Structure 1
Amino acid sequence: MAKFGAVGRSAILRNPNETMRLIITIIVGVVFGFFVGISFPSISITKLHFPSSIISYIEEKNSGLSTQALLNHAWATVTNQKNIDPPQLPFDERKIYVPTNPRGAESLPPDIIASESDFYLRRLWGSPSEDLPIKPRYLVTFTVGYEQRKNIDAAVKKFSEEFTILLFHYDGRTTEWDEFEWSKRAIHVSSRKQTKWWFAKRFLHPDIVAPYDYIFIWDEDLGVEHFNPIEYIRLVRKHGLEISQPGLDPNKGLTWQMTKRRGDREVHKETTEKAGWCSDPHMPPCAAFVEIMATVFSRDAWRCVWHMIQNDLVHGWGLDFALRKCVEPAHEKIGVVDAQWIVHQVVPSLGNQGEIVEGKAPWEGVRKRCRKEWGMFQNRMTEAEKNYFEQKRHENSNTDSIAAANSTFN
């Protein structure tokens, strides 16, 4: 056996070329069989792992060929025999970028984008397509405290299944409302000591309320004995109102002349006020004007109004005079529905949510902030419009200068 071993080693030493050919043939055969067997041309041959002793031996003994070159040659041999090219995916098929998608969603395919939502309640079981026997077309919101539950109960019962009911709770009491059967189907949002417009800015984004034709944003102290919501909407559509409110009982509470109910018509869009109050008969408070206690917005009008609501001005004072900026012509598309009217009960519940400061009653501090916000909102609107028109004049001036220069040059 010792002699045989010596002879064998001598033979290998005497025939190194034959040994190399044998090793390379084995490698090529293994590689070919591997790729034929799995038939996945996308897998690179360079990712195969061979024993390091074989790789080292080849690199040391071959005639100037590196391991990578040998493996590439093996891959070329296989693909030439099978006539298969390595897959070449263009860049745009590997990565999605759609600049017209909503901001932040550019990497998503457009067909998966769900840019709008709703307040429809969904089940935890069954098919999603069967969740909603009725899709409400209208949304009504009330900003409420538990003390006004009887009044809200009477109001909500006026609204049919075509309305989604959304309660904004400013006193933190929500579960107590389950004494009413309808409350279990309503949406409840709670945050202590916040106002209607604070809730509206944060929870009534236009893309959230997009499924609803009309959005009612109402106070809690409204008597609805003479109000029918479906008939109200019929009249709003008939008279082309984008922003509206029911007429107010002229004998209850303080109100503007514009929002007082008239008993001889379905709708009115203008009025007369005290001398000097209306410099233009088509401007507030003589026209293009409703109050903010029981406002009803079309979907399109609300999209504009929502953007006008300021984050830090929570009482909404001043909005009623600015609503006209969201519809055109405002004196035709803003009006009061007289045939469906309500009673403003003037319950000072919001004032009671304030705090005693410097010995003054809570409502005094609330009222003071309301007036302050009114002035702040008016100033912001005035400044915003001033800045806009100054910028436009500057742009037009630059355009005219360029045009004049071009004309002179020509």
Structure 2
Amino acid sequence: MGNLTRRKPNETMRLIVTTFVGVVFGFFVGVSFPTLSTKVNLPSSLFPTIDISYIKYKESGIRNAWSSVNNNNDSRSTQAQKLNDTSKILVPSNPRGAERLPPGIVEAESDFYLRRLWGKPSEDLTSKPRYLVTFTVGYEQRKNIDAAVKKFSGNFTILLFHYDGRTTEWDEFEWSKRAIHVSIRKQTKWWYAKRFLHPDIVAPYDYIFIWDEDLGVEHFNAEEYIKLVRKHGLEISQPGLEPSRGLTWKMTKRRGDREVHKETDEKPGWCTDPRMPPCAAFVEIMAPVFSRDAWRCVWHMIQNDLVHGWGLDFALRKCVDPAHEKIGVVDSQWIVHQTVPSLGNQGETQNGKAPWQGVRERCRKEWTMFQSRMTKAEHTYFKDMGIDPSNSTVN
């Protein structure tokens, strides 16, 4: 009977293994559900070999490990999403249209500096002209322009707008090979200026000369002119005009007793305010000179369809403040207006009228249209601001 009740060795081993597996399984169930341990109070004597603090430590390690893995996965996912996201760069302060570019690559401005097709870009320019002078020209006035260009030093970039389509012939002059030539037939200088002298294009230049082709410059020196403009704080200016030649406003006639003047006495009734055009804050459109900042404003005021620019000279004052102090005429550097009717000859005969008559009529119409637009725009602005236009100081 004793032999019958004795367990076989393999059954004893199976019992030990089963017990061990059960204990291990119970241990991991307890770790997986830690909240149960806080609800069931068992005597510690039942588990004499188990260190509760060790269990908690391992539990914390497992959790931290899973948290680290999840965080790394999330980080990698976010980075991958950013790399695939075309809007990952957004810089509102960048120029319009360039908000998605990193600021370090943005070139918001340009220039007229000529570049080589070889060598290092950093070695292209031996100097950078600080001023820009433009002439709107026809080949018939080449001798006059040649004389004028020679009054401007290497500190000036020369830009010619050709209204007659003839450009290569100008290569007879050495300076022409270094000049910028833009050719579109039968257009005016304000048409060219609006399309080719954007403020961000001419930004490298301290002053911009926008001149006609029929100006005598025997008594003019560009470098000396710049010195006087700086000295007297002029943002918009022109050289004085020889008073005995051609029709001109009294304000723009040269005075022989001073360097610069900023006001004058016109005919009775012509000036409602002595600080307003044409008694002050006024230059004509034949030979104006603009500072970089003043030109940025004036460019925006030029109308695309009013190509002659008549009336613009009366509105230039709106671009500087105080205008009666920052707009003036340089008397000691003066020019002669030769009044060559070259632009009028670019017109066409219509209704029996000569070409120049049609051009002149349009000039007058544009003056009226520009004044009307400016008045309407100002009144609309003041009305939107809740201000009575009749009480405003704008005239």
Shorter-chain TM band? 0.7 to 0.9
Q: Which residue number in structure 2 is paired with residue 366 of structure 1?
A: 359
Shift of 1:394: 7.4
Tell me, in whole angstroms, the C-alpha distance in 2 between the residues paired with 1:102 and 1:341. Answer: 40
Determine the structure 2 residue equivalent to 1:260: 253
Q: Match of 2:339?
A: 346
Q: Does 1:88 align with 2:81?
A: no
Task: Give structure 2 stretches of 5+ with no counterpart.
Answer: 1-65, 389-395
CA distance in 1, matches of 2:187, 2:349: 17
Deviation at 1:96, TM superposition (A): 1.6
Instruction: State how 1:24-173 maps to structure 2 within 5 Å.
Output: 85=72, 87-90=76-79, 91=81, 94=85, 95-173=88-166
* Alignment pair present for 1:233 and 2:212: no
- 2:278 matched to 1:282? no
**Pairwise CA distance, 1:92:** 5.0
Instruction: Write the letter of the residue equivalent to 2:230.
Output: R
Distance in 2 between the 1:166 and 1:274 partners?
38
Aligned residue number for residue 194 of structure 2: 201
What amino acid is aligned across from residue 77 of structure 2 in structure 1? Answer: Q
**Aligned-pair CA distance for 1:296:** 0.1
Q: Tell me the distance in 1 between the aligned counterparts of 2:385 and 2:168.
A: 53
What is the letter of the counterpart of residue 144 of structure 2? N
User: Which residue of 2 is the match for residue 271 of structure 1?
Assistant: 264
Q: Deviations over 1:98-131 (max 9, x none)?
A: 2222222222111111110000000001111111
Measured at CA, do residues 262 and 104 of structure 1 come closer, stay the same or move farther in structure 2, by a change above 3 Å? same
User: Which structure 1 segments of 5+ residues have no match?
Assistant: 1-79, 396-410
Q: State the secondary structure of the residue aligned to 2:386.
A: helix
Give the equivalent residue in structure 2 for 1:376: 369
Q: Aligned to 1:393, what secondary structure does the other structure show? A: coil
Give 3-state SS (helix, strand or coil) of 2:239's partner: strand
Alignment partner of 1:316 out of 273, 284, 309 = 309
Alpha-carbon distance in structure 2 between the residues aligned to 1:240 and 1:290: 15
Query: Aligned pair count?
Result: 315
How far residue 205 of structure 1 moved from its aligned partner, in angstroms, is 0.3
Shift in CA distance, 92/237, structure 1 to aligned 2, threshold 3 Å: farther
Q: What CA deviation, in whole Å up to 9, does each residue of 1:153-196 have, x standing for no partner?
A: 00001111100000000000011101101000000001000000
Q: Paired residue for 2:294?
A: 301
* Partners of 1:282 and 1:185 in 2: CA distance: 42
**Within 1, Cα distance between the matches of 2:82 and 2:320?**
43
Deviations 1:64-108 (A, max 9, x none): xxxxxxxxxxxxxxxx9xx89553344556522222222222221
1:355 paired with 2:337, answer no
User: Secondary structure of the residue that 2:289 maps to in structure 1?
Assistant: strand
CA distance in 2, matches of 1:230, 1:113: 33
Residue deviations 1:7-65 (CA, integer Å, cap 9, x gap) = xxxxxxxxxxxxxxxxxxxxxxxxxxxxxxxxxxxxxxxxxxxxxxxxxxxxxxxxxxx
Q: Distance in 2 between matches of 1:394 and 1:149?
A: 53
SS in 2 for 1:294: coil
Q: C-alpha deviations, 1:255-301, integer Å up to 9, x for none? A: 00000000000000000111100010000000000000000000000
Select which of 152, 170, 173 maps to 1:177. Answer: 170
Following the alignment from structure 1 to structure 2, what is the Cα–Cα distance between the partners of residues 266 and 328?
Answer: 22
In structure 1, how many angstroms separate the alpha carbons of the residues matched to 2:207 and 2:97? 29
Partner of 1:24: none
Could you tell me which residue of structure 2 aligns to residue 5 of structure 1?
none
Alpha-carbon distance, 1:309 to partner: 0.2
Distance 1:143 1:339 in 2: 25
Indicate whether 1:187 and 2:184 are aligned: no
Counterparts of 1:146 and 1:378, CA distance in 2: 34
Letter aligned with residue 312 of structure 1: D
Selected match of 1:327 from 320, 333, 357: 320
Matched with 1:246 is: 239
> Of the candidates 217, 225, 229, which is equivalent to residue 224 of structure 1?
217
Secondary structure of the equivalent of 2:288?
A: strand
| C-alpha separation in 2, matches of 1:104 and 1:318 | 33
- Alpha-carbon RMSD: 1.7
Letter in 1 for 2:105: I
- AA in 2 matched with 1:126: G
SS where residue 98 of structure 1 aligns?
Answer: coil
SS at match of 1:165: strand
Instruction: Determine the structure 2 residue equivalent to 1:49.
Output: none
Q: Which residue number in structure 2 is paired with residue 17 of structure 1?
A: none
TM-score, reference length from structure 2: 0.78
Separation in structure 2 between the aligned mates of residue 242 and residue 207 of structure 1, nearest angstrom: 18
